[in-house]
Each structure stands twice: as structure tokens, then as C-alpha cells.
Amino acid sequence: MKARILVIDDEAEIRRSVRMILEYEGYDVQEASSGPEGLALIEREPPDLVFMDIRMPGLDGLEALQKIRQINEALPVVIISGHGTVATAVEATKLGAFDFIEKPLASERVLVTIRNALDSTRLQDENRTLKRAVEARYQMVGESPGLRQIWDSIKRAAPTNATVLLLGESGVGKELVARSIYRNSLRSRERFVQVNCAAIPEELIESELFGHEKGSFTGATEKQVGKFEQADHGTIFLDEVGDMSAKTQAKVLRVLQEGEVERIGSARTIKVDVRVIAATNKDLEAEIEKGNFREDLYFRLSVIPIKVPPLRERREDIPALVRHFADLFGRDNNRRPQRFTAAALEFMQKARWKGNVRELRNTVERLLIMTPGDVIDVDDLRDVVRADSRPAAAPEGATAAPNHLSPNTLREFKESAERKFLVEKLRENAWNISKTAEVIGTPRSNLYKKLEQYAITQESDG
Ligand SMILES: Nc1ncnc2c1ncn2[C@@H]1O[C@H](COP(=O)(O)OP(=O)(O)OP(=O)(O)O)[C@@H](O)[C@H]1O
Ligand SMILES: [Mg+2]
């Protein structure tokens, strides 16, 4: 697409020569003969770049520049400076002009400067889009009192260096809370290193966390820098901290107490300055009782404990979360946004969500895939919202059949889609089995088999 450039200059001759240079290069050029005229054009139809004289009668370039900044902060402005106005032009760059060019205008210089200015804004745009995408991904949605309390804790804990322990059921958003603390902390420009203590095999976790020297054990063919060292000056997120072995617990305790690590196979201790955020879905006090978790480590970790409440205790957040996930999904897949009806949202608000926000998110994505239309209504939910997650008193006879479970695997997904398809076709054919079998092109015997397999009956359809 052609970039549009607005030339503001009181001298018609300058405007004409600039227009010639720019149009020859394929730019779209607009002209204004005064500051106010230029500002009006910018407000009406923002150009991609402004090329402006610094000395004009009435509103001069500097004032016009400040006004442009108020209208559009990101619009690049290149200043034309005449003999004796270079100092003012320099001033203009301090006020946010991209660059200035001295008269007489050399076409090469004009073109290079404009190209640079356009490139830099394009880059800025891309950065902004990227940053916004990352922010949307880690955005914490919800206004419930439960969540607002979490926000208060985040704001209080973030700027300190205190260790935070995040507690709560699986899928409630502990990782999001950890990232929010990090982003709002004084260490937000340093690294955020995440370790999932449950996912790393026991024999590797120490070397993951603390590193090892080359040849320190069989298989250690290269030296490895541990996560604590990687996180130096930054933040380490110890996820599923309740799943660490006794031996690892002892070592982690030592880092917290002494602020130093030792690589496996090395006698040298290394000082590290790391802020620790830990999370677990286990009841650590019960684990202490059972002798599975060290009490001293628990005290060290839970300087600031934050308990993230399960979704069922903050159902007010569900509609906003559903919309948020639908938006994210639509953006990721370049799809038109689909809308949930009020009835559908209400149905979802009453469901149990044992898997908390994660389950809600997966369900929304599945619904978006499985529903062909633009609108998702209660009917579309019946086969998708997990049977054990449905409201106890399901509306309009939505009964839980054993095969409605939410799909986690491709096979479950196929089955779930197949079931939905069959129910729809049966409805269309007034539950006439022979007719339906014919329409969908399968032997009657096969359809009967499927009905049995998926526990589909006319009654179960409400
Ligand atoms: N308030 C929220 N707003 C938007 N998304 C959320 C919110 N809470 C959780 N999520 C999303 O739900 C999913 C689960 O969240 P997260 O991974 O943080 O849970 P968790 O508590 O760490 O679970 P686990 O204990 O299983 O690791 C993620 O995709 C996360 O982005
Ligand atoms: Mg997690």
C-alpha cells in the first residue's frame, strides 16, 4: 500500500518540488499551506508521515509539532529547516520530530529520511502488536471480589523481594499470578525462569536447578548452568513445588537460606540473587503432617502466601472469561468472533468447573471449533460441557450421558463430534432410524450400534 505523506509549508514552490520527489517514488502526497490547515487534515485523515516547514506565518512548526503530538503520538514528523533555523530544528527533534532536513532539499536525503521514518514506525507498530499479544495471553481477567483480593496481594507483594507461595487447585491461574507479580516487580526487566518441579525426573532435577560440571556424572558430557544461576538478578518460578523429593527440598532450602548454589561436581559456591515464587496445588500442611514436605522449607517459601480461589467461588468472572478466551482464540486462528448467548453464558456460569479456569478455557475452544454458526447457544453446550461439570439442576433436561465427557484426545474429540452430528441428523429426521441411516449413508445396523455406543435416545435429547 502507498504511504501517505502530508507536506505542510507556506511556500508553494517547496510543496511542489517535494510533491514531485515523493510522487516519483510512489508516495501519495497531500499538501497544506499552513499549520492549522495541516492539523485539520491530520485530524480528518491521519497520514503515515508529516513533512513540515519549521518557519511559517501564524502557527509555526514547533507549535504545530506539539499540537500534532497531542492528536497522534505515534505519527512521525520530519522537519524542513531553512538557513538560520537549524537550532530550532534541533529543538524540534527534542520535542519528538523524527529528523530534520536543511534547505535546499536534496532529493536523495529527503527520500532516505522518509524511508527511515516510515520503517521505524512500522517496527514500533509491530513491537506494540507483539507486546499487546503477549499481554493478552497473560492478562488476568475478572472483577470478582475473590480476584480483586488477589490483585491487592499482587500489588503489595510485587515490589518487594519477598518469597511468594501460590496455593490453589489445579487450573485456577497460579502461573498467571506468578507472571503478574514478576511483571509488576522491580525485576521485570530481568529474567523470569520457570521450573516445573513435577515434570523433571528425579535424577535430573538437581542438575536442572543447580547445574553441573562437565564429567561430574555419567552422561554429563557438557557443563550445565542451573536455573537458579540463569535467574540471577531475576525471578525463578518453582512450579509444583510440592512434588520435590526430600533431597531436592534440602538443597532448595539451602539456596533460600544462604543465597548460594553449588553445581554438581564442583566445590565452588556461587552467589545468586534470585526472587523466588513457588506454586503448588497440594495441601502443603497435610504433606508436612505426612512427612512428605519439610516444614522449614514451607516457612521459608510462604513469606507471602497467596491462595487463588477456585472458579466455583467466583462465578461472576465466568462471562468475562468466556469472552476473553473466545477473543484470544479468534485472534490466534484468524476467525470471525463467535458470540455466546446470554442463556449459554448462564448455563456455563452454573457449571461446576472442577478443572477451574483451564477447563473453562478448553471448553470454550472446543465450542468454537464444534459450533459452525456465529452464535453459541445452550443447545451447543450440552454435548461439550463436561457431564460432571454441568449444573446440578441442568436446564431443559440436559441429561448426562456417559459419553459426553469432554474430549482430551483426538479420538474423544471425534467421538464427541460424531455424537453431536448423529443427534442433529436424528432430530432433522424426526428420530426415524431408517430414514436417518439412509440420509447419512450408513447401514441401519451401524447406526443402531452408534446409538448404543453413545447412549443416544430420543429421551436423552430432551
Ligand atoms: N483470571 C484469568 N484470566 C484469564 N485467563 C486465566 C485466568 N486464570 C487462569 N487463566 C488461564 O487458565 C489456564 C490455567 O491457568 P494456570 O496455568 O495459571 O493455572 P495453575 O493454577 O498454574 O494450574 P496448575 O496447578 O494445574 O498448574 C491458563 O491458560 C491461564 O492462562
Ligand atoms: Mg501451573
Alpha helices in 72-222 (DSSP H): 86-94, 107-137, 145-157, 174-183, 202-210
Ligand 1 contact, 146 CB (< 6 A): no
The residues near 11 (Cβ < 8 Å, ≥ 6 apart) are: 53
pLDDT value at position 302?
A: 94
pLDDT value at position 430?
A: 85
Here the cell at position 354 is 472442577
Here the cell at position 98 is 523524527
Nearest to 360 by CA among 374, 377, 370, 345: 345
Distance CA 425, CA 428 (A): 5
pLDDT value at position 293?
A: 96
- Give me ligand 2 centre to Cα 44, in Å: 48
- Give me ligand 2 centre to Cα 362, in Å: 15
pLDDT value at position 401?
A: 37
Distance CA 217, CA 204 (A): 11
Structural contact between residues 176 and 138, judged by C-beta atoms closer than 8 angstroms: yes
pLDDT value at position 316?
A: 95
Below-50 pLDDT ranges, the chain: 393-405, 462
Q: Sign of the CA dihedral 87, 88, 94, 98?
A: negative
pLDDT value at position 383?
A: 73
Q: Which helix (H) or strand (E) holds 364?
A: helix 356-370
- Give me ligand 2 centre to Cα 173, in Å: 7
Q: What is the pTM of this model?
A: 0.63
Ligand 1 contact, 314 CB (< 6 A): no
SS3 231: coil
pLDDT value at position 403?
A: 35
What tens digit of pLDDT does each residue of 30-54 get? 999 999 999 999 998 889 999 999 9
Here the cell at position 49 is 508521515
Residues with CB under 5 A from ligand 2 (ion): 175
pLDDT value at position 400?
A: 37
Structural contact between residues 300 and 257, judged by C-beta atoms closer than 8 angstroms: yes
